[in-house]
Structure 1
Amino acid sequence: MEDQPIIKRKKIVQGDGHHGGAWKVAYADFVTSMMAFFMLLWILNVTTESQKEGLADFFDPSIPVSANSSGGDDLLFGDGLSGDAHLASDGKTILQGPALSDEELARKLATSLDRVAGEGATKITLSPEGLRIELLDTAEQPIFRLGEAGRTKRLEEIIAVAAPVLRESGRRIKVSGHTDSMQFAGRAYTNWELSVDRANMARRLAVENGVPEGAFYEVTGHADKLPAAENSASPENRRIAFHLLNPETMPLTAR
């Protein structure tokens, strides 16, 4: 009987000894996706409505903005660009379409403010630097509580009416606060601090009502040094002024 040849078949198993590394790639993708998801949830939780609008407008191709702008000072802290006037700020420039003249702005503001604030509670004047809108205290209806800088319903109502015109103007804005000559008794807090705090409160309310943060150029307090009435204790001296600056009066570095 002849010997039969013995044939050995070897089974070849492909792959390394650790069952491959594809699972590591899939796991890394999963972890990255979850991290991005929780980052998105965190951003949505900490941003305000105006900041969310700024984010949305930044990625909207239908809204033209400058290369360095997202509708405000930066991407997360910008203001939305929605509205009749599409404004954008790069920290130096307010971008807008055709600007209104001082006379047109004055007419629009006078019509709106007289209806809300009442006669004698606002004053609009033309100055060499631009248009000045003053919100005045009256004995019957003060815009601030005596000696305080907290918001009041009356101030909120007046600024809510003025803000759309301030936004539409496309101007840089200065805000100044003024007080009467009454002094604080036994406190280090003075009319200087009070006038600045009131001006800054007016600025914050304007921003809340849609005026871009980047529109504001200066916030100052003058205490009782620039009275509007001869009687230094007159309620008329307690006032907030918004100055809409003409571009030609602005320093070159701030235009």
Structure 2
Amino acid sequence: MGAGSNAPIIIKRKKVIAGGGHHGGAWKVAYADFVTAMMAFFMLMWLLNATTEQQRKGIADYFSPTIPLVRVSGGGSGSFGGDNIFTQEQLAQSGRGINQPTIGDEPVTAEQAAADAAAAAQVAALRDIEETLMGIGGESMLSEQALRHIVTRLTDEGLVIDIFDLPDATLFPPNSAEPNPVTVEVARILASLFQSVSNDVAITGHLRAQSVVRIDNPIWTLSTERASQMRQLIVDGGLSPMRIARQTGAGDRNPAVRDPTAPRNNRLEVILLRSDI
């Protein structure tokens, strides 16, 4: 190019973006998600280690969807509460929930409505007993030591109260039907609670299986004797003997856990029976 040329001079500047452009901070978001997940994991491990079986059941129930135990769940106004006290499902928009009669179905009679209301009252009463016993929403009537031995559940038969051995604490001495102090305490509290309702009571004794098969196996006699001892303790606590509907010994035929020889299978099952079935 000649010295007298008037051509423009073009300067190119290359723009450098540090950190890889818009991807520069993505790892921070991924790392934050990872740390959050690890915190949640370690919190779960801590809860599993620091809580009892019944406390874990309560936590699980808290996060479980609410499912009505019976068809009647109460009423209230509005589309989310049902329009009368005989609403059969929660979140019902009509008085009969999902069981609303179709064409050709018979309407709900006054007798059926009364039976449904009675069933709802029965479940509510059993639930109150369970909450008082386990200290749900308040302080339990049982000591912390005794509470470790108990798990409850509501079934179609009634309120089932499982009282079981722990590896470091038993309900009875080995091969004996003489109750330990914790068993006496539980029986006394049950007798007091059961007097607030009129339901009958059923008691079943269970034992773990023996690792060695014995010709003269005492499990049937011992499980029956332990059930009888619990019955006597509850009656001594003030419950009318006429309210004991049955007392049985199931031996090792109905284990509570997969391992039939586990101490958890040594247990007493006390059922507060529903009176509406």
Once residues 200 and 244 of structure 1 are traced to their aligned partners in structure 2, the CA distance between those partners, rounded to angstroms, is: 16
Gaps of at least 5 residues in structure 2 are 1-120
Q: Match of 1:220, as an amino acid?
A: T
- The share of aligned pairs that are identical, in percent, is 22
Q: Which residue does the alignment assign to 2:128?
A: 104
1:172 is matched with: 200
Matched with 1:236 is: 264
Asked if the contact 1:183/1:191 (under 8 Å) is kept, the reply is no
Q: Which residue of 1 aligns with 2:255?
A: 227
Structure 2 length-normalised TM? 0.51
Counterpart Cα distance in 2 of 1:234 and 1:186: 18
Cα displacement string for residues 10-52 of structure 1 (whole angstroms, at most 9, x for unaligned residues): xxxxxxxxxxxxxxxxxxxxxxxxxxxxxxxxxxxxxxxxxxx
CA deviation map 1:174-233 (0-9, x unaligned): 000000001788674521111111000000000111111111000011111111111111
Aligned-residue CA RMSD (Å): 2.2
Question: TM-score normalized by structure 1?
Answer: 0.55
Tell me which amino acid in the other structure corresponds to 1:109. Answer: L
Residue 80 of structure 1 corresponds to none
Matches within 5 A, 1:141-156: 141-156=169-184
Aligned partner of 2:98 in structure 1 is none
Secondary structure at the counterpart of residue 169 of structure 1: coil
Residue 151 of structure 2 corresponds to: 123
Distance of aligned partners of 1:186 and 1:225 in 2 relative to their CA distance in 1, 3 Å threshold? closer
Indicate conservation of the 8 Å contact 1:113/1:122, yes or no.
Answer: no
Contact kept? 2:149, 2:166, Cα under 8 Å:
yes
SS across alignment from 2:276: helix
Deviates more, 1:173-182 or 1:103-112: 103-112
Report the Cα distance in structure 1 between the residues aligned to 2:268 and 2:151, rounded to whole angstroms. 10
**Compared CA separation, residues 165 and 240, structure 1 to 2 (3 A):** same
| 1:169 to partner: Cα distance | 2.2
Q: Which runs of 4+ in 1 moved over 3 A?
A: 116-120, 183-189
**Secondary structure of residue in 1 paired with 2:174:** coil
Alignment size in residue pairs: 152
The answer (yes or no) to whether the contact 2:256–2:265 under 8 Å persists in 1 is yes
200-209 vs 146-155, which moves further: 146-155
Q: Does 1:136 align with 2:167?
A: no
- The structure whose RCO (Cα within 8 Å, separation 6+) is larger is 1
The Cα of 1:141 is off from its aligned counterpart by 1.0
Q: How far does residue 115 in structure 1 lie from its aligned partner after superposition?
A: 2.7
Shift of 1:242: 0.8
What code does the residue aligned with 1:104 have? D
Taking the aligned partners of 1:164 and 1:214, their CA distance within structure 2 comes to: 16
Secondary structure (helix, strand or coil) at the match of 2:228 reads helix
Residues in 1 aligned to 2:141 and 2:161: alpha-carbon distance in whole angstroms: 10
| Residue matched to 1:8 | none
CA distance in 1, matches of 2:213, 2:258: 23
Q: How far is the alpha carbon of 1:247 from its aligned partner? A: 1.0
Q: 1:195 to 1:214 in 2, by over 3 A?
A: same
